A and B are shown apart, each in its own frame.
Chain A
Amino acid sequence: DTGVSQDPRHKITKRGQNVTFRCDPISEHNRLYWYRQTLGQGPEFLTYFQNEAQLEKSRLLSDRFSAERPKGSFSTLEIQRTEQGDSAMYLCASSPDLGRYEQYFGPGTRLTVT
């Protein structure tokens, strides 16, 4: 068990560019979550997958955001036409279907939009 990994750890991009982040959950964890955390705030829920199915999306997730989890393994989060307000830490977490409801987090991807 190597834990949840995220790539890249840091991303600097210019406004208007597209970016894609990757999350590899703990193997055999069926549930995968994306959260966004801005400085001085708690994380905010963005979206949730159970296996390959995206079952819920927050209203925070505008149409510039898209997430996938092909084959129920790793997940990608893409932001198109980035805006300065997208600058944040993007956290990924995974959780088993059966268990005690806690989520295990990756180190996050820090996005800076200039």
Chain B
Amino acid sequence: AQTVTQSQPEMSVQEAETVTLSCTYDTSESDYYLFWYKQPPSRQMILVIRQEAYKQQNATENRFSVNFQKAAKSFSLKISDSQLGDAAMYFCAYTNAGNNRKLIWGLGTSLAVNP
């Protein structure tokens, strides 16, 4: 069975600094997708960034980028120039390329941004 592990329950960063959130996963599939979702205190889940397993190039979305290490089954999120609005729970999620595409989630990392 596929699993997703986030080993950092809480992280903090100073405003304008850079922080990296860790995620590892376990799968025997070769074709899959990985996501980082953000859940602010209002609790609506928002997609931050996605990575296709078949792509070697790491995904980037503005201040957010990933370090995807397929062999190590590692998928970390880097947030540059952190802003107060980045404070939230961050979840790493996995889905295979099969029919149901259900998301399998980590436990999340609570990120605090200090002014």
Contact = CB atoms under 8 A, between A and B. Distances in A.
Contacts, number: 61
B102 A33 contact: yes
A48 B98 CA distance: 13
A43 B105 contact: yes
Interface of B: 4, 33, 35, 37, 42-47, 50, 52, 91, 93, 95, 97, 99-108
A101 B42 CA distance: 24
A100 interface: yes
Interface of A: 31, 33, 35, 40-45, 48, 55-56, 89, 91, 93, 95, 100-108
A44 B102 CA distance: 10
B108 A89 contact: no
Most chain B C-beta atoms within 10 Å of own C-beta, residue among A42, A91, A95, A103? A42
B105 A42 contact: yes
Given A56-B102, A101-B33, A107 B43 contact: yes
Given A89-B43, A102-B35, A108-B43, A42 B102 contact: no
